[in-house]
Structure 1
Amino acid sequence: MEITGSKKWLILVITSISTFMATLDSSIVNIALPVISKDLKVSISQIQWVVTSYLLTISMLLLVWGKLSDLYGKKKIFSSGFIIFALGSGMCGLSHTLEFLVISRIVQAIGASAMMSLSQGIVTGTFPPEERGKALGFVGAMVALGNMTGPSLGGILLHFFNWQAIFFINVPIGIIGLIASAIVIPEIFEVQDVKYFDLKGTLLFSFGVLVLFLGLLFVQQGTIPTIYLIPAIIIAAAAFILFVFVEKKSINPLIDPELFKIHEFSYGLVAAYLSFIALISVLFFMPFYLENLLKLSALHASIIISVYPLTTAIVAPISGWLSDKLTYRPLTITGMAAATVSLLLLSTLHRNSPIWEILLLLCLLGFGIATFQSPNNSSVMGSVQRDQLGIAGGINALFRNLGLVSGAAFSVLIYSFSTKSSINSLSGGKFNPSSFIKGFSYIMLFDAVCTFIAMLISVRRTVKKAKEEIQK
């Protein structure tokens, strides 16, 4: 049964709201951490668990929700994500201890992961191929708007109310989302016949993700020495290797190995992973460049950085629409080429660089990332069968999270090795302008290499697809 008329656009609005909420809550909390830390009388290092627990829970559950939705249906799980998210948000607002706040954030993340995992799959299953890119581009715009709105909205709520307000605001939106999704979204998406959930594979994969993400996050935060990342990677790799063996023998594996034989799927995931490594590195270090080196206020710095998500929000739907007309191939190559140029030029910034140049380069980066992401998401999600859209969306979201976490950790490591100083030197009176410029330049060059490789992967995917079409 095909969904036609206004109903498919209502479904797009509902899934976009869920994406916006989950993204917003990732960025809105950061600005409130100092206030929460002071109110709960805990250290900054302890309060980081408010962010870490949320990110870890989402990353561990993305595939679980995706697979369960393929087995039992997407509507029930997606709708329940809204109410669990609202419940967790209410719990966060009522928290009076760090322990209860972290538990509440985990509950909140359980709901967020269900929404994040299924939003792309529902959109892909709702819209025909000739409109899929435009629809996914709109979802991409919501991600950008969530990232852009979070800090400013958080600041407003903190100014007029208290930190609890940044959580309570989610409760009515979650309830409305639950009612709307229950009424509007039909349960027409194909489900798999074999009702077997791969518990062994799920536990192995979750353990690997937990160890890897904890290692990367702790290194990024300076909680553990960098050398400890090596055993974390070895343990995670061992878990993933064992996971592969278990999957080959499973009746209905968590991740069907055949998915990765689809080059549009596997190539698209790797290219997306590399693009998110580059993106988070820029967003992580740019505030230090603007505030510590150029001596701009936090307000001015945030306005300058907001140029990136604003550009992304404008370009993503246009790029998605173009991919419906031109296919994803020229757009993914063009997007990564533009991002590579912007990163190479960002590596040349210095203490006297004009503001207009920084704005222009961030606009170019936003243009490149948005031009790439919408068509790439469309190609990844459009390459799988309808009864695998849930797990495909979960894998796509997981690669995005992995890119963001590893990108932040890699940039911190590059900075430490190139400047022979800790990331903590960027705060207080230890800031060294010459040393910072050196480290910043190396990070941008590393990011440019990542996006250049992503561009080559996109070229390879295009050539391979063209050969397949000629052979047909």
Structure 2
Amino acid sequence: MAKNNRTLLLIIFLLGIFIGALDTGIVSPARTVIASQLSISSSSSVWIVTIYTLAYAVSMPIAGKFSDRYGKKKVFTLSIALFGIGSLLCGVSNYAGSFSFLLAARVIQALGGGGIMPVATAYIGESFPIEKRGSALGLVGAIYGVSTTLGPTVGSALLNLVGNSNWGVLFLINVPICIGVIITALIVKDEGIVKEPKKMDVLGSIIVTLLILALMYALTNLQFHDFKNSIASTKVWPYLLAFIILLPIFIIVERKSLDPILNLKYFTNREIALTLLISFITGAGMMGIVFVPQFGENALKLKTGSGGYLVTLMAIFSGISAPLGGRLVDKYSPKLVLSMGFASTLIGSSTLAFIVAKNPSFISLLIGLAFIGLGMGFCMGTPLNYLMQTNVDPSETASAQSTLSLIRSIGVAISPNILIGFISEAGKNISPKLMTILPKVTIPGSNTAVSMTQGGSSSISPDQLAALQNADVTTITDVLKQFSGSMIDKFSPMLKQQLQNSKLPKGVTADTLVAQWKSDYLAQIDAIRSSIENMFQSTLNEGFAKLFIGAAAIALLGLIFTLLLSRKTKPVSSN
């Protein structure tokens, strides 16, 4: 292939990876906005993300197999076209005002998205000689890592620019890029490796689709911090049962297939099996970054929504380490780069857990995020993609990359449900602890001092409870003042009646006395603002500390399995 053609194809494949990875995070900040605009509940809005994740996971192995059979450029171009059509329809749903329309469009978008990353990675890897493959895949890791971490920040910036009522723009920006990529792909000729077609594994394709859907849906709904009740839910156990039943059937079908949709030999080859296991661990650990903005806001006492730049800092370090890791893979080995990545993540997560959470400062936070960003860049793509491509037959690199991406997606799906439990537990402890430091209420005309919550939790309205749960370290004092003011207002009519029946000083009315009492009490809360904020911050940070200890444990596990890899990586046939 001519050098110019290869360069153009490299550019369009990288562009495809960029928009595909960006879209996984760009929708996150808009979910509540979309829910409000389309008049759906918050729980229903989760399907905007869930249905994309499910369709994306299903499409990966099928797209990978098709690209090995019919050509990577053809399948990649079709995937980009589907992604573009889905993006266009998602944007149109903003103005059609239909949630069902949006979900259908997200499925189309995901079916295209699932074929972008693995096919592009396989093509880029096989287009370069083995001595330069690491550097080439380093570009993939850099683009994927930066776009994934920047997704939520870009989404928030776009919403601020165009307004919440025009959230469809988040999807429509993909359309011109997709058109440009398709036109370029159609012009450029390609002579990629194509596998000799055998009978298509239709039955295997159907079973693997059902298998992935069952597993991913169950894992998405499984809450590990409430495991007993969660696994008994009809949103979990029937799907896990379906997975358990389908798995042996799938294995039997694939063993008999001439050209299996998922090569079972990947799981019996030691190096490939270890690579897939490490990919799962990487996916699970990667999701720790979801909690970084909230942690940074709490640690530095920033307003909600202003922690996005912390993710940008991580993206910068990730963008530095990904291409550097690619060059180190070429010069040394993927084992070394993975070890550096997991070690960096371990150091970064431990810094956040044991230093920042206990004694917050911007410098210590920056150091922790820098190490996590470096770790992400080293682990995200290059070494794992390199290991996969050099350990399978050249005619099935896309299928192998799809399997790698699928296993990582399972890790991504399971991770938040494991880690969120630490934050949920800390959140439950905040209200009781705060109530203990609120000033006692001394009722006018009486020496009796009572707690603001003496009536029990039943005296707190759902709206007040929601306000307390959604407060951050910068708003908690004002939320407590509003809560206390509303509680005083509840007692005021009864108190005024009692005061009117008692002897009041001349010129003093029951109304003025109660108003002054309320004003004085709210002033007492203001006086302990610092104590309230510190109590809120430290309690939530305890949960974050446990979360990042969990992330560090995941990184340590990844490091241990990485050390089991062979020092040298040589291409082997999977046939």
TM-score, normalization by structure 2: 0.75
Unaligned stretches of 5+ residues in structure 1: none
Q: What SS does the corresponding residue of 2:563 show, helix, strand or coil?
A: helix
Which residue does 1:102 correspond to in 2? Answer: 103
> Per the alignment, do residues 134 and 94 of structure 1 end up closer, same or farther by CA in structure 2, a change over 3 Å counting?
same
> Per the alignment, do residues 131 and 360 of structure 1 end up closer, same or farther by CA in structure 2, a change over 3 Å counting?
same
Is residue 62 of structure 1 aligned with residue 63 of structure 2? no
Output aligned runs, 1:117-156, within 5 Å.
117-156=118-157
> Per the alignment, do residues 103 and 386 of structure 1 end up closer, same or farther by CA in structure 2, a change over 3 Å counting?
same
Which residue does 1:382 correspond to in 2? Answer: 390
> Per the alignment, do residues 378 and 291 of structure 1 end up closer, same or farther by CA in structure 2, a change over 3 Å counting?
same
Which residue does 2:368 correspond to in 1? Answer: 361
Q: For 2:465 and 2:291, locate their aligned partners in 1 and report how far apart those are by CA, in whole Å.
A: 10
Output aligned runs, 1:67-78, within 5 Å.
67-78=65-76
- Which range moved further: 168-177 or 142-151? 142-151
Which residue does 2:560 correspond to in 1? Answer: 456
Output aligned runs, 1:117-196, within 5 Å.
117-161=118-162, 162-184=166-188, 186-194=190-198, 196=199
Match of 2:19 among 17, 21, 29: 21
Q: For 2:542 and 2:245, locate their aligned partners in 1 and report how far apart those are by CA, in whole Å.
A: 36
Which residue does 1:48 correspond to in 2? Answer: 46
Q: What SS does the corresponding residue of 2:368 show, helix, strand or coil?
A: helix
Which runs of 4 or more aligned residues in structure 1 lie more than 6 Å from their structure 2 counterparts after TM superposition? 221-224, 417-422, 424-427, 466-469
Superposed CA deviations along residues 38-94 of structure 1, whole A, max 9, x for unmatched, are 221112221221111111100011001111112222221111111111111111111
Q: CA deviation at 1:418?
A: 8.2
Q: CA deviation at 1:215?
A: 1.9
Letter in structure 1 aligned against 2:217: L
Which residue does 1:274 correspond to in 2? Answer: 281
Q: For 1:368 and 1:426, locate their aligned partners in 2 and report how far apart those are by CA, in whole Å.
A: 39
Contact 1:19 1:119 in 2 (8 A): yes
> Per the alignment, do residues 219 and 288 of structure 1 end up closer, same or farther by CA in structure 2, a change over 3 Å counting?
farther
Q: For 1:106 and 1:261, locate their aligned partners in 2 and report how far apart those are by CA, in whole Å.
A: 33
Q: For 1:435 and 1:235, locate their aligned partners in 2 and report how far apart those are by CA, in whole Å.
A: 40
Q: Is the radius of gyration larger for structure 1 or structure 2?
A: 2
Q: What SS does the corresponding residue of 1:264 show, helix, strand or coil?
A: helix
Q: Which has the higher contact order (CA 8 A, sep 6+)?
A: 1
Q: CA deviation at 1:436?
A: 3.1
Superposed CA deviations along residues 396-416 of structure 1, whole A, max 9, x for unmatched, are 111221111111121124555
Which residue does 1:112 correspond to in 2? Answer: 113
Superposed CA deviations along residues 224-283 of structure 1, whole A, max 9, x for unmatched, are 952234554343233223211221122221112223333332211211211221120x22
Q: For 1:169 and 1:426, locate their aligned partners in 2 and report how far apart those are by CA, in whole Å.
A: 39
Letter in structure 2 aligned against 1:199: V
Q: For 2:570 and 2:7, locate their aligned partners in 1 and report how far apart those are by CA, in whole Å.
A: 35
Contact 1:12 1:135 in 2 (8 A): no
Contact 2:333 2:569 in 1 (8 A): no
Letter in structure 2 aligned against 1:272: S
Q: What SS does the corresponding residue of 1:411 show, helix, strand or coil?
A: helix
Contact 1:144 1:310 in 2 (8 A): no
Which residue does 2:33 correspond to in 1? Answer: 35
RMSD after superposition: 2.9
- Which range moved further: 372-381 or 308-317? 372-381
Q: CA deviation at 1:363?
A: 0.7
- Which range moved further: 444-453 or 293-302? 293-302
| % identical aligned pairs | 27
Letter in structure 2 aligned against 1:411: L
Q: For 2:281 and 2:340, locate their aligned partners in 1 and report how far apart those are by CA, in whole Å.
A: 15
Output aligned runs, 1:239-318, within 5 Å.
239-280=246-287, 282-292=288-298, 294-318=300-324
Superposed CA deviations along residues 359-384 of structure 1, whole A, max 9, x for unmatched, are 11111111122223322221122221
Letter in structure 2 aligned against 1:152: T
Contact 1:293 1:351 in 2 (8 A): no
Q: CA deviation at 1:133?
A: 0.9
Output aligned runs, 1:368-447, within 5 Å.
368-373=375-380, 374-413=382-421, 415=423, 428-430=467-469, 433-447=537-551
> Per the alignment, do residues 213 and 421 of structure 1 end up closer, same or farther by CA in structure 2, a change over 3 Å counting?
farther
Contact 2:281 2:408 in 1 (8 A): no
Contact 2:26 2:155 in 1 (8 A): yes
Q: For 1:77 and 1:51, locate their aligned partners in 2 and report how far apart those are by CA, in whole Å.
A: 24
- Which range moved further: 370-379 or 95-104? 370-379
Q: How many residues align?
A: 463
Which residue does 2:83 correspond to in 1? Answer: 85
Superposed CA deviations along residues 123-175 of structure 1, whole A, max 9, x for unmatched, are 12211111111111111111122124323332333233221211111111111
Q: What SS does the corresponding residue of 2:115 show, helix, strand or coil?
A: helix
Match of 1:206 among 202, 206, 209: 209
Q: CA deviation at 1:445?
A: 2.1
Superposed CA deviations along residues 188-232 of structure 1, whole A, max 9, x for unmatched, are 2221341x2222222222222212211222246999952234554
Task: Flag the structure with higher helix content.
Answer: 1
Q: For 1:426 and 1:352, locate their aligned partners in 2 and report how far apart those are by CA, in whole Å.
A: 29
Q: CA deviation at 1:293?
A: 5.1
Q: For 2:295 and 2:426, locate their aligned partners in 1 and report how far apart those are by CA, in whole Å.
A: 16
Unaligned stretches of 5+ residues in structure 2: 431-461, 472-535
Q: What SS does the corresponding residue of 1:461 show, helix, strand or coil?
A: coil
Letter in structure 2 aligned against 1:50: I
